[in-house]
Amino acid sequence: MEKIKYLIIGAGISGLTFANYIKDDYIILEKESEVGGYCRTIKRKDFIWDYAGHFFHFKTEEFKKIFMDNVEDTDIIYKDKCTKILYKDALIDYPFQTNIHELEKQEFIDCLYDLFNKQEKETYDNFLDMLYGKFGKSIVEKFLKPYNEKLYACDLQKLDKDAMGRFFPYADTKQIINNMKNNKDISYNNKFLYPKNGAGSFIEILYNNLEKERIKLNSTIENIDQENKIVTTQDGKKYQYEYLINTAPLNHFLLLFNNKEYMNLEQELSYNKVLVFNLGFNKKSKLEKEHWIYIPDKEVNYYRIGFYDNILDSDKLSMYIEIGFDKQAAINEKEQLDMTLKNLRKQNIIDDNMKLEEYVSIIMDPAYVHINGKTDKKITELKNNLKDKNIYTIGRYGAWTYCSMEDCMIEARKIASSLK
């Protein structure tokens, strides 16, 4: 049995960041054959794809410097975000609620009328209740409700009113009216940078700064004995730790303990799965400037599509497609691919002369966690109890929250600093 001070589960962005700040006396157990988690990049012939769309908009100079110091400036692309909503065969600017003036006249009037007559409340019961209170019936039912139902693959009344936190593009009536004359993107990521070799470039920076022999790939955990602080892997190896840092999805992590209470909480956790298609075609689409597009139409299987070729300024259509599913859903990838190609043609994003040259499919499970107050309280209590046993569960999925890559890095650095 190997004894180690810091045992880290998962070599994604949170686990690698923690190791970078802890520096020594650590081991990372990663079940996959490579590091990166959902931040990996795939290269196929002329195409560069991420596991899902990842774009950098640093808030902290420290992490921006790590990135900038290790990537050649010529290998970084800077973009002002160009995002649209495909609504009834027309492209309107995102976010919907601040661009209702771009709708046809009667729909614009409906949205404006309902916006001024919305029934705001002091407190809201759930996410859908908040949407109606903040934006009125028409804005909600034309875009916010159908789009988010596709994204989260659940009844929006099951989500907490603040389920998306700072990532939801809130706007008051004054902002919406002012935007009709002075169009301004108020979203948190209106500018971004992107490495020419994909988001995995940042993972490589973190990985290359570590001792490779401390990262154990293809190491799937069988169980955790929290009383004796022992982790056993499926191949029979045992590690005794002083501190356990988990970055794996919380629903998977809870099943590693022989603990009925943890198993009950795992059953309560709600989330969706997302099927991602990365598609590469022989030539470009007629859409040559958009970076990603939101699709609220319930008749279309995908909720968002993105264009790597418009970010990388390449000469072939390279895109990602995102399709949301309930956590229990069985996914027929071939059926979904056929449906996706049919819908892309129907929406005039591709035509019959465009040939699919390469594609990769990925199932993110979990993808978006469903935040609700009752379960969130239990998770907070769990994390406090685990902390008393020197166990920390961090990151987007380890902490079961909605956050950015940089948020994960900030949390990992904070925990590492507090334990050193």
pLDDT digits 0-9 by tens, 4-45: 999 999 999 999 999 999 988 999 999 999 999 999 999 999
The H helix count followed by the E strand count for the chain is 15, 18
Average pLDDT over residues 225-242: 97
CA distance 355 to 359: 11
pLDDT tier for residue 188 given thresholds of 50, 70 and 90: low
Q: What is the CA radius of gyration of the chain?
A: 22
pLDDT tier for residue 346 given thresholds of 50, 70 and 90: very high
Q: Does 59 score more than 90 pLDDT?
A: no
Structural domains in the chain plus CATH codes: 2-45+199-270+372-419 (3.50.50.60), 55-60+76-86+187-196+272-368 (3.90.660.20), 95-182 (no CATH)
Residue 278, H or E segment: strand 272-281
pLDDT tier for residue 326 given thresholds of 50, 70 and 90: very high
Q: Does 187 score more than 60 pLDDT?
A: no
Average pLDDT over residues 290-295: 96
pLDDT tier for residue 232 given thresholds of 50, 70 and 90: very high
Of 48-57, 205-214, 356-365, 370-379, least confident by mean pLDDT is 48-57
pLDDT for the residue numbered 185: 59
Q: Which residues contact 181 (CB under 8 A, 6 or more apart)?
A: none
pLDDT tier for residue 54 given thresholds of 50, 70 and 90: low
Q: Do residues 228 and 239 lie in contact, with contact meaning Cβ atoms separated by under 8 Å?
A: no
Q: Do residues 272 and 154 lie in contact, with contact meaning Cβ atoms separated by under 8 Å?
A: yes
Please, what is the average pLDDT of the chain? 93
Model-level pTM?
A: 0.94
Top pLDDT among 183 and 316 is at: 316
Residue 58: DSSP 8-state: -
Q: Of 10, 95, 3, which is closest to residue 412 (Cα–Cα)?
A: 10
Average pLDDT over residues 156-168: 87
DSSP strand pairing (221-225 vs 391-393) = unpaired
Q: Which residues contact 396 (CB under 8 A, 6 or more apart)?
A: 14, 369, 402, 403, 407, 408
pLDDT tier for residue 193 given thresholds of 50, 70 and 90: confident
Burial class (CB in 10 A: 0-12, 13-18, 19+), 7: buried
Q: Which residues contact 382 (CB under 8 A, 6 or more apart)?
A: 262, 265
Average pLDDT over residues 263-283: 97
Burial class (CB in 10 A: 0-12, 13-18, 19+), 47: buried
pLDDT tier for residue 186 given thresholds of 50, 70 and 90: low
Residue type, 385: N
**For the chain, percent of residues with pLDDT exceeding 70:** 98
CA distance 272 to 269: 10
C-alpha distances in angstroms, 101 versus 4, 78, 111, 144, 369? 60, 29, 9, 16, 33
